[in-house]
Structure 1
Amino acid sequence: MSQDTAPASDPSAIRFTQLLGLADGADTAQWARIRSTQLDAGRQLALFLLAANLLGAAMTVTLYAAEIPHLLLAGWAALVGVVAVTVAIRRLATRHRDGGYATQTDLRATVLEGAALAAAWSVPGFVFNTDPGSDSGYVLWMILSLLMTAGAVAMAPLALATIAFVGGLGLAMSAELVLGGSYTGACATILFTVLLIIVCLNRARSLVVIRASQMALGERDETVSLLLREFEETNADWLWETDAARRVVKASPRFAYACGLDPLTIEGMSFLQVLAGSAWETGAFSAGLRTLADKLKTRESFRDLRLPVEVNGEERWWELAASPRFDEAGTFCGFRGVGSDVTEQRASADKINRMARFDTLTGLPNRLMVNETLARAMADADRWGGRCAFMMIDLDRFKAVNDTLGHPIGDRLLGRVSERLAQLMGENETCGRLGGDEFAVVMRDATDTKAVESLASRIIETLSRPYELDAHTLYIGASVGLAIGPRDGRTSEMLIRSADLALYRAKDAGRGVYHAYEPELHVQAEERRVLEMALRQALEKNEMHLHYQPVVDAGTGNLKGFEALLRWHNPQFGNVSPVKFIPLAEDARLIQPIGEWVLRTACAEAAQWPSEVRIAVNVSPDQLQNPNFVTVVTSALASSGLSAERLELEVTESVFMHEGLGATKVLERILDLGVRLSLDDFGTGYSSLGYLSRTRFSSIKIDRSFVQGASQGVKEAIAIIRAVVALAQSLGMATTAEGVETEAEHRMVQDLGCTKVQGYYFGRPLPVEEARALARRGWDTSAAA
């Protein structure tokens, strides 16, 4: 079946098949209701149709009583009566009502009723052998025409049944006239039948259109009633009206209830007095009420005007909208408007605003709120010619707490830090959390430089006190970067950048201190940025190269191996110190590709040396945090052909500060390859004997600071070297003394028991050609001299 997508209320969109019940529209439920209306309309005219049939049958019997046998005439009349009564009973007994639902089958079944009536009334014209030209024939034609008209009126809503009755009876009459030779009468009958059918269809179409319109109006009325009912039940909105003197008129019960007053009391009161409440006497009006007064005074329309209103001693927030009223003569009559209680919406908005501007963990202002506060402080300082200050605070050793005790303890520690920080703030200061373990302080008035520096010192001292959490005593510290505006930055963004640079300088100074911004920090930052850009291209441009420093036997002076040392020569910066570019590579996450290049280059070079000469390569903690580093080592050994026992990787103690990152497991896998491990700079960091026993180091390197101290007679340095040598001997490890520059230092470390020596006394870091030549001819004490 085809479906029409247009609504039934559009007459041009209703198809013929839909009127007959042979097809549905797009809205099947709507058409089911329309069909029920058609059946109900037919039911209402069922008795009229019955009366028309019985009256017509009586007239026909009277007409032919003298010509047709009474038995035949009575039999036909009985047939008509039975059919007419049956059709009436079927119509009256239908269960469909206006507003109900009917199927297409229900509507199609009515065609049998029309066809049965048409068949019964076709009998007189054929059976009674009436001459069309006789008086009785003419009277019968008139009776049948009237009956067809009555049927078209009574059965018009049921278009299919009407077509069956009118069309069937009209065809029968036309056929009878044709058989009687009255062709003109037959044509007139056919034309009359067609006109009746057209009128019937138009009436049926009108019924459908009217019913569809009623249904649409009913749905709209139901929607409006629902909205009005919700309006009445929610107590959310009301109407208000004032006269030209701004007095309340026609006060609705809902408006009076919203104001907490009686409708009789509120009538005639000043609208502004009703809204002001107790403030009417004191004159302490809100800004919103003053704005409303201005609008009423200037007779301007307004909307979305929010203001606080006192209702029964409680502050509520209203939202008002109104327009001025004028009479036919154009005279101002007052205002008419609507109001809403938006207290809950405002509370929700305030909550959302707080969530957007305050840190959920600590309750302090977040980065957005801190930036807004700083921007206001900068604007005030610029307006009044004053100064403001911005401090960036970074917690020292906080990451170690997170790594060892877990994030829940770390979060609680941040809460304790925020509490201490908030206690230091006065009316002039605002503190907030920027994220992670970074905090900030905004000082609105920083004209007293000593007060600013005093606050920075108190922040460091307060945050560095021990914290007691779950039977843990935690020690952290704080570093502070300080910038003064507008001296150190004309905008809040520039001032934050300056404080950030000062914080980096405080960290570089050893942490636990504050540092004020200095102009050269920007120069250094720019130099660092340019240097980083150059470093990112250093490998591609072949600016990196290796030098090799000899490592000799402390007793015999024979060459044991070389340590590969990275060097960088840039056309713009010249020779860049490793002390400068190695930390930069680690911060910029470039150390892994650079470290892999160093490892592969050193292994390829060492493969050309005699088999007894080893190569030592420094490895960054960042490299060991990469699980694929073992694959890198394996690939370097395989591609160069260097045996694993000739490679020695040097690591620092900082590797073991992040054991949770898997560095220890990576070292174990490297040891399983046969590669040696050396612990570099032992004693200068967070030394622990635990990892010495857990990790199979082949040697321990004693930092040059201890060697130089021992050569100057520092007892502590001498004691440390002896302790390290004794510890290494007990664990089966060799000891390498770094920074040996004189023969006296050589004899000293030899006497203290060191097994290997490295330093300028035996050779500076050599270019690859010199190192290769030295490796091939070996090393002896005469060469050292």
Structure 2
Amino acid sequence: MRQIIGLDTPDGDHFGRVHGTQYAMVRKRAGTRVILNLFAAAVVYWLCKDTVAWEILAAFGGALLCALGLAFTLDFRLRDADQRFFSPEDMKRHALGSVFKGLVWATGFCVLTFTGAAEQVAAIWAVIAFLVMASSVSRYSAPLSAISYALMVCAGGLVASLATFNYGLAVVVVGTAFFGCFGVVETARMAVGVRIAELEMQEKSETVSMLLREFEDGQADWLWQIDTKRKLRSVSPRLTFALGREVAEVEGQSLLQLISGDGWKSGQFPASLHDLADRLKGKESFSNLVVKALVNGEIRWWEMSGTPMFDEDGKWLGFRGVGSDVTAQRESSEKIEFLARYDTLTQLPNRLQVNESLSDALAYAQEWRTRCALLMIDLDRFKAINDSLGHLVGDRMLAQVAARLKPLMDEGELCGRLGGDEFAVIIRDAKDRRRVDTIAKAIISALSAPYYIDNHVLYVGASVGSAIGPRDGSKVEELLRNADLALYRAKDEGGGEHCEYEPSLHVNAEERRLLEVSLRHALERNEFVLHYQPVVDANTEEVVSFEALARWNSEEHGFVSPGKFIPIAEDTRLIVPIGTWVMQEACREAAANWPEHVKVNINVSPEQLVEPDFAGTVVRALSHSGLDPKRLEIEVTESIFMRDADVARKALEQCMALGCSVALDDFGTGYSSLGYLRKLKFTTIKVDRSFVQGAGQNSPESLAIIRAVVAMADSLGMTTTAEGVENEDEADLIRRLGCNKIQGYHFGRPMPADDAVKIFSRKDAGGRKRA
């Protein structure tokens, strides 16, 4: 109902267009309404001229002329309503004119009744009721305006009839208002429904017409017909357009001759034309036969279908069919095929073509009893450049890498991009083993030279791993895997190296696999335990917190270093359940056995932060343990911002809202630390141990960095913790540099929970709690 009246509009533009068409009809009857109002005013004047002062009648007439002028102006502005979207605001603005006109009649009716025309109130109402009915009939297409006018006028009639104690007339007035508004709404409902149906039919008609026009104007399909001598008959205009000739030139000519070009004289036809000729000769039906045609010296590709024609006696009359030019589709298909085999960024063969070429090289090596080689190349430090300067700079660097690799290739060697910053080189004949090492060193040297991109001088290195086929693998997958293992070893040795595959690499890979299997059951077997390393106040040396560190004592492998199992846990996302256990166990231990002023620091992996319910995990750990949120400090590294910075920031902000504090660990070892400090309000900055050790050796750079970090943290309202303090001299130096807290072997190594509790029962000679 509100949509029909015009008080709101549903989604889409149907109602806006419908109301625009409806309101455009209002303008056509604007003059008629003015005349009817003037006629009604004249009748009222005649009825009241003997009983009401002329000044009042004149004032009423003047006000009515103003109202009529305003309403006529608003109606005239609707001349383009059917050409635009007509909103509820437009309808409300138009209704204001009707409200003003109705107010003039209502006020005039009341004033005339109270100033001498009380006896003529019924007659005057009859005139006004006539206007209400006329408005309802003439302005049903503008229901909001018609209803506003009717209600305003009837309100005046109701006041006048009640004031003169004419209750019968009051009932008539109310009935007039009801039936007038009801008639407007019902008529508007029908009109709107009809108009919506018309618009839908119009849209369907326009869509069909557009499709027909596209088919007629596209000239992409044509009919063709040949007789028993393969000569064209009843040539269609579209076929002549496709041949680039006139109808007279084509009628009666051989179809094969017209599309074979110079090949007609020499007899050298494309295979597709031979196929077409055989189908025609054999009187066979064919469908979607792609033919290579030469039209006016230009190669075109036609897709043709044909059916033999026979008369009632079974006599063959020729062929009839349909054809279309599919040159654009053919070229597009060839382009797609090219893109499927080549990398668009570097223009090098992609992984698909590399695998195919490697398969061919292995087959060649096995057939001729020789060797082939696969070199896997990975850029060192590329991710840091990509993350700090953006993917556009990274893409331009990859393009330059490809340009440097191409000149290094000799005959029988192929270089391709596997994806990301990984490339591969295939040597088809690698009987000279020295060639593998030579090209690997040449690749490392070429890719390690500086890159100049957007006023930046950038440096990346390259690591290379190689495998020889079929010695190191007789299948593509085996050779790729073994070359990849050699590449991992090269990167583990610091990068910038070439490593050949050795069987021992499989041992390391198998060890990693077995560790992963055991790690998946470690929580079920209660093989994890937490150790705690104290963090002390730099001035008082009192323990202010413990950092919780996970330790794994496996049934199959014994004690496993965190440096081994933590990367595996992160790669397999087992770090999520492990991290949840660490959170629950550390909070329980701190709440149950530590003084209330001692915090617990828990390291959180980026994999945990991107979990949708990380904040819920923290809440459950706090509620189950009863630990005050202020005693929990979450430690993260800059790597959390490398994967999904927005999700990580939101999760940490939710934890801070609970009252927990957040520390940025290993500060200064990344590439955008200052940017992270701007994105998130950290509580603590932990200075990496490398700077602490450098400062202990009087390194000017390390000293300057620590001073800058401390000054920046103080200005931002953050505390600083120095990691890796191993002796008293380093502790004194860190204290002088202004760090608030210290962590390191000098104050305590990671220890079991029972030993951590004992610290609080010991005091040094000065009465201070020491680790």
TM bracket, shorter-chain basis: 0.5 to 0.7
Cα-to-partner distance string for 1:620-643 (whole Å, 9 max, x where unaligned): 233334453333223322222111
Task: Give the direction of change, closer, same or farther, for the CA distance of 1:755–1:342 in structure 2 (3 Å limit).
Answer: closer
User: Of residues 584, 600, 603 in structure 2, which corresponds to 1:615?
Assistant: 600
Q: 2:702 matched to which residue of 1?
A: 720
Task: Give the direction of change, closer, same or farther, for the CA distance of 1:421–1:497 in structure 2 (3 Å limit).
Answer: same
The amino acid that maps onto 1:381 is A
The amino acid that maps onto 2:656 is L
1:309 Cα deviation after fit: 12
1:494 Cα deviation after fit: 0.7
The amino acid that maps onto 1:720 is S
Task: Work out the CA distance in 1 between the residues paired with 2:364 and 2:686.
Answer: 58
Q: 1:389 matched to which residue of 2?
A: 373
In the comparison of the two structures, how many residue pairs are matched?
Answer: 531
User: Of residues 715, 723, 727 in structure 2, which corresponds to 1:738?
Assistant: 723
Cα contact 2:667–2:673 (8 A) shared by 1: no
Task: Give the direction of change, closer, same or farther, for the CA distance of 1:458–1:548 in structure 2 (3 Å limit).
Answer: same
Task: Give the direction of change, closer, same or farther, for the CA distance of 1:620–1:776 in structure 2 (3 Å limit).
Answer: farther
The amino acid that maps onto 1:758 is Q
User: Of residues 362, 365, 369 in structure 1, which corresponds to 2:349?
Assistant: 365
2:547 is the alignment partner of 1:563: yes
What SS does the corresponding residue of 1:760 show, helix, strand or coil? coil
Q: 2:744 matched to which residue of 1?
A: 759
Any unmatched runs of 5+ in structure 1? 1-232, 242-248, 259-274, 290-302, 320-339
Cα-to-partner distance string for 1:392-436 (whole Å, 9 max, x where unaligned): 233445555665666566555544544443344333222223234
The amino acid that maps onto 1:538 is A
1:593 Cα deviation after fit: 2.1
Task: Work out the CA distance in 1 between the residues paired with 2:223 and 2:478.
Answer: 48
User: Of residues 628, 634, 644 in structure 2, which corresponds to 1:643?
Assistant: 628
What SS does the corresponding residue of 1:496 show, helix, strand or coil? helix
The amino acid that maps onto 2:620 is S
Task: Give the direction of change, closer, same or farther, for the CA distance of 1:434–1:606 in structure 2 (3 Å limit).
Answer: same
Q: 1:426 matched to which residue of 2?
A: 410
TM-score normalized with structure 1 length: 0.54
Task: Work out the CA distance in 2 between the residues paired with 1:692 and 1:656.
Answer: 11
Q: 1:293 matched to which residue of 2?
A: none
Task: Give the direction of change, closer, same or farther, for the CA distance of 1:427–1:614 in structure 2 (3 Å limit).
Answer: same
Cα contact 1:743–1:761 (8 A) shared by 2: yes
Task: Work out the CA distance in 2 between the residues paired with 1:343 and 1:436.
Answer: 36
The amino acid that maps onto 1:765 is P
1:371 Cα deviation after fit: 0.9
What SS does the corresponding residue of 1:537 show, helix, strand or coil? helix
Task: Work out the CA distance in 2 between the residues paired with 1:645 and 1:672.
Answer: 11
Counting only pairs closer than 5 Å after superposition, residues 3-152 of structure 1 correspond to structure 2 as: none
The amino acid that maps onto 2:753 is V
Counting only pairs closer than 5 Å after superposition, residues 171-210 of structure 1 correspond to structure 2 as: none
The amino acid that maps onto 2:349 is P
Q: 1:377 matched to which residue of 2?
A: 361
Cα contact 1:414–1:437 (8 A) shared by 2: yes
Task: Work out the CA distance in 2 between the residues paired with 1:597 and 1:365.
Answer: 47
The CA RMSD measured in Å over matched residues stands at 5.5
2:545 is the alignment partner of 1:576: no
1:587 Cα deviation after fit: 1.4
1:592 Cα deviation after fit: 2.2
Cα contact 2:384–2:671 (8 A) shared by 1: no
Task: Give the direction of change, closer, same or farther, for the CA distance of 1:510–1:670 in structure 2 (3 Å limit).
Answer: farther
Cα contact 1:703–1:738 (8 A) shared by 2: yes
1:367 Cα deviation after fit: 1.9
Task: Work out the CA distance in 1 between the residues paired with 2:692 and 2:336.
Answer: 63
1:387 Cα deviation after fit: 1.8
The amino acid that maps onto 1:620 is S
Task: Work out the CA distance in 1 between the residues paired with 2:428 and 2:586.
Answer: 57
Cα-to-partner distance string for 1:130-185 (whole Å, 9 max, x where unaligned): xxxxxxxxxxxxxxxxxxxxxxxxxxxxxxxxxxxxxxxxxxxxxxxxxxxxxxxx
Counting only pairs closer than 5 Å after superposition, residues 161-240 of structure 1 correspond to structure 2 as: none
Counting only pairs closer than 5 Å after superposition, residues 544-563 of structure 1 correspond to structure 2 as: 544-563=528-547
Larger displacement relative to structure 2 (650-659 or 341-350)? 341-350
1:454 Cα deviation after fit: 3.2
2:583 is the alignment partner of 1:599: yes
What SS does the corresponding residue of 2:760 show, helix, strand or coil? helix
1:363 Cα deviation after fit: 3.6
Q: 1:505 matched to which residue of 2?
A: 489
2:512 is the alignment partner of 1:528: yes
Task: Work out the CA distance in 2 between the residues paired with 1:419 and 1:765.
Answer: 51
1:659 Cα deviation after fit: 7.0
The amino acid that maps onto 1:715 is N
Counting only pairs closer than 5 Å after superposition, residues 441-456 of structure 1 correspond to structure 2 as: 441-456=425-440
Task: Give the direction of change, closer, same or farther, for the CA distance of 1:761–1:359 in structure 2 (3 Å limit).
Answer: closer
Q: 2:662 matched to which residue of 1?
A: 677
Task: Work out the CA distance in 1 between the residues paired with 2:225 and 2:413.
Answer: 45
Cα contact 1:761–1:784 (8 A) shared by 2: no
Cα-to-partner distance string for 1:279-321 (whole Å, 9 max, x where unaligned): x99xx999999xxxxxxxxxxxxx99999999999999999xx
Task: Give the direction of change, closer, same or farther, for the CA distance of 1:377–1:311 in structure 2 (3 Å limit).
Answer: farther
1:647 Cα deviation after fit: 1.6
The amino acid that maps onto 1:768 is A
What SS does the corresponding residue of 1:612 show, helix, strand or coil? coil
1:567 Cα deviation after fit: 0.3
Q: 1:632 matched to which residue of 2?
A: 617
1:537 Cα deviation after fit: 1.8
The amino acid that maps onto 1:482 is S
Cα-to-partner distance string for 1:255-277 (whole Å, 9 max, x where unaligned): xxx9xxxxxxxxxxxxxxxx9x9
Task: Work out the CA distance in 1 between the residues paired with 2:479 and 2:375.
Answer: 10
Cα contact 1:559–1:779 (8 A) shared by 2: no
The amino acid that maps onto 2:607 is D
User: Of residues 469, 475, 478 in structure 2, which corresponds to 1:485?
Assistant: 469
Q: 1:181 matched to which residue of 2?
A: none
Task: Give the direction of change, closer, same or farther, for the CA distance of 1:730–1:363 in structure 2 (3 Å limit).
Answer: closer
Cα contact 2:638–2:676 (8 A) shared by 1: no
What SS does the corresponding residue of 1:602 show, helix, strand or coil? helix
Cα contact 1:681–1:702 (8 A) shared by 2: yes
1:677 Cα deviation after fit: 2.9
Q: 2:503 matched to which residue of 1?
A: 519
What SS does the corresponding residue of 2:411 show, helix, strand or coil? coil
Task: Work out the CA distance in 1 between the residues paired with 2:743 and 2:438.
Answer: 48
What SS does the corresponding residue of 1:534 show, helix, strand or coil? helix
Q: 1:701 matched to which residue of 2?
A: 686
Q: Which structure is larger by alpha-carbon Rg, 1 or 2?
A: 1
Cα contact 2:694–2:702 (8 A) shared by 1: no
Cα contact 2:759–2:770 (8 A) shared by 1: no
Cα contact 1:561–1:615 (8 A) shared by 2: yes
What SS does the corresponding residue of 2:594 show, helix, strand or coil? coil
Cα contact 1:558–1:778 (8 A) shared by 2: no
Cα-to-partner distance string for 1:660-686 (whole Å, 9 max, x where unaligned): 444344434433333233333334443
The amino acid that maps onto 1:591 is I
The amino acid that maps onto 1:491 is K
Cα contact 1:394–1:437 (8 A) shared by 2: yes
2:429 is the alignment partner of 1:440: no
What SS does the corresponding residue of 1:731 show, helix, strand or coil? helix
The amino acid that maps onto 2:536 is V
1:749 Cα deviation after fit: 4.2
The amino acid that maps onto 2:585 is T
Cα contact 2:633–2:660 (8 A) shared by 1: yes
2:523 is the alignment partner of 1:539: yes
Task: Give the direction of change, closer, same or farther, for the CA distance of 1:591–1:398 in structure 2 (3 Å limit).
Answer: same
Task: Work out the CA distance in 2 between the residues paired with 1:361 and 1:466.
Answer: 20
1:520 Cα deviation after fit: 1.7
**Percent identity (aligned):** 54
Task: Work out the CA distance in 1 between the residues paired with 2:734 and 2:332.
Answer: 74
Task: Work out the CA distance in 1 between the residues paired with 2:632 and 2:379.
Answer: 39
The amino acid that maps onto 1:365 is P
